[in-house]
Amino acid sequence: MDYATLESLSPGRFEDAADAYRSASSTAGESKHRLEHQISVRMRKKLGCEAAEAALGQLRRLARNFHYAQTECGCSRRR
């Protein structure tokens, strides 16, 4: 890397990216929490049929996806 390239770097862009990753991680974490502790709990209490069990399985998979996104965004902003 030469001096001109170093001079053209804008640290603010990296800070903006880190803020975006932090926000995405937080949103994914909040969504996972809502799925596991609010939506799924209410479904279990109100519904007991086979369709509800299938829906709960899909919600568990979605919660895992949110957890994955939360973790990856958390790791990306620390690099």
Supply 58's token pair.
């899909």
Please write the tens of the pLDDT for every residue from 38-76: 999 888 888 878 888 889 999 999 999 999 999 999 887
Quick check: is 46 in a domain? Answer: yes
The answer to whether residue 44 sits within a structural domain is: yes
**66 and 33 Cβ atoms separated by less than 8 Å:** no
In a domain? residue 4: no
- Look up the domain containing 30 and give its range: 15-78
62 sits in which H/E element? helix 50-78
73 is a domain residue: yes
Flag whether 1 is in a domain. no
Q: Judge whether 5 lies within some domain.
A: no
Structural domains in the chain (count)? 1
User: Global pTM?
Assistant: 0.74
Q: What is the distance in angstroms between the CA of the first residue and the CA of the last residue of the chain?
A: 20
